[in-house]
Amino acid sequence: MQLIDPADPRKPYVKIAASIRAAILSGELEPGAQLGTGEELAKFFGVARMTVHAAIRALKEEGYVTSRAGSGVFVRDQASLPVAAGEDHPLAGTATFLFEMGQLKNLPRSGWLLLGITQPESVAEHSFRVAMVGLVLASIEGGDIGHVTALCLMHDAHETRIGDVPSVGRAYITTATPEAITAHQVSGMPGQAVKVMQELTAEYEAAETPESRMAHDADKIETLLQAVEYGAQGHDTATWRENSIAALRTDAGRQLAQAIGAADPRWWAPFNASYLELHATAQGKARKR
């Protein structure tokens, strides 16, 4: 486990949970491994025991560790394949997760409702283009294309449980962390799949790796694209455009935002103009005959 960074602005218990989580995901702490006592961890991290208890509680909620009465805290074991006859199919939890992801197709992006857009894009539609933008940004920035795309696809997966909360509502609502929600969503999947999904969510939320920053930019770029499109329909999306551009973190993201600002969202317009020109030319030739 890594010691916590005093310069990190996050709360101490969050930093401790992140350190232990990273040790679990990296394999340093294997399934079934016992964590140190509260006193030992408090001494290691240089904090009060109550801070360690808060970190352990967060990790329990996320599904990373479990307590055993009289024994201590242990890294959770993950299901292994195959299962004994008569038990559920080993991929039953995976099927359930995929059915749950389909709910994103029915979940509207609530922020657009504030503009009176009665049938706004769904979270699934948003996530699809976020992934496409991420693919493009990664290719421009020299990032891992597959990894960035995967981060993009997972970035709003937790909204099946808590919905899409608009910015005006976030100050009033407290929800479980995306990491905790992902842990619950994937708890019935095979161990390696659980590890991958949890790693993706944790990396995206931490926003510390180059790929996660590209994924965050992809999210903002997609919102910018949608804002331009809704703006072309007569809606005042200036705030959405400005906020999206201000949040960009990569050079490629800022350059792409400039290109989007100068582009015509009617991508089909040149084809239409070409068709009309060809049609007019054909009619002219016909009249001369």
- Residue 60: CB atoms within 10 Å: 16
The predicted-structure confidence for 54-108, as pLDDT tens digits, reads as follows: 999 988 888 888 888 888 999 987 533 344 555 667 788 899 999 999 999 999 9
Of 46, 75, 104, which closes a domain? Answer: 75
Please check whether residues 37 and 151 belong to one and the same domain: no
The boundaries of the domain holding residue 43 are: 12-75
State the average pLDDT over residues 3-11: 86
Does 170 map to a domain?
Answer: yes
> Would you give the DSSP letter of residue 113?
G
Judge whether residue 277 has pLDDT over 70: no
Who's near 6: CB < 8 A, 6+ residues apart? none
Count how many residues are written for the chain.
289
Who's near 77: CB < 8 A, 6+ residues apart? 31, 32
Judge whether residue 283 has pLDDT over 90: no
Please check whether residues 65 and 160 belong to one and the same domain: no
Query: What pLDDT is attached to residue 276?
Result: 67
The token pair that represents 192 in the structure block: 């390696």
The predicted-structure confidence for 194-212, as pLDDT tens digits, reads as follows: 899 999 999 999 999 999 9
- Closest Cα to residue 252, out of 209, 198, 203, 216? 216
Please check whether residues 25 and 98 belong to one and the same domain: no
- Residue 261 belongs to domain with CATH number: 1.10.3210.10
Query: What pLDDT is attached to residue 143?
Result: 94
Please check whether residues 237 and 100 belong to one and the same domain: yes
Please check whether residues 58 and 151 belong to one and the same domain: no
**Range in 10-14, 27-31, 112-116 with the lowest mean pLDDT:** 27-31
CA distance 206 to 199: 10
Please check whether residues 154 and 196 belong to one and the same domain: yes
Location of structure tokens 């049938």: 119
Does 87 map to a domain?
Answer: no
- Closest Cα to residue 33, out of 19, 16, 49, 20? 20
Alpha carbon distances (Å) from 19 to 1, 144, 199, 235, 240? 6, 24, 13, 45, 35
Does 86 map to a domain?
Answer: no
Mean pLDDT of the chain: 89
Please check whether residues 156 and 102 belong to one and the same domain: yes
pLDDT: is 252 or 30 the higher one? Answer: 252
- Residue 21 belongs to domain with CATH number: 1.10.10.10
Does 275 map to a domain?
Answer: no
> H-type helices in 105-158, by residue range?
123-141, 145-154
Of 75, 105, 129, which closes a domain? Answer: 75
- Which residues sit opposite 43 in a β-bridge? none
Please check whether residues 156 and 68 belong to one and the same domain: no
The token pair that represents 96 in the structure block: 């359930």
Domain total of the chain: 2
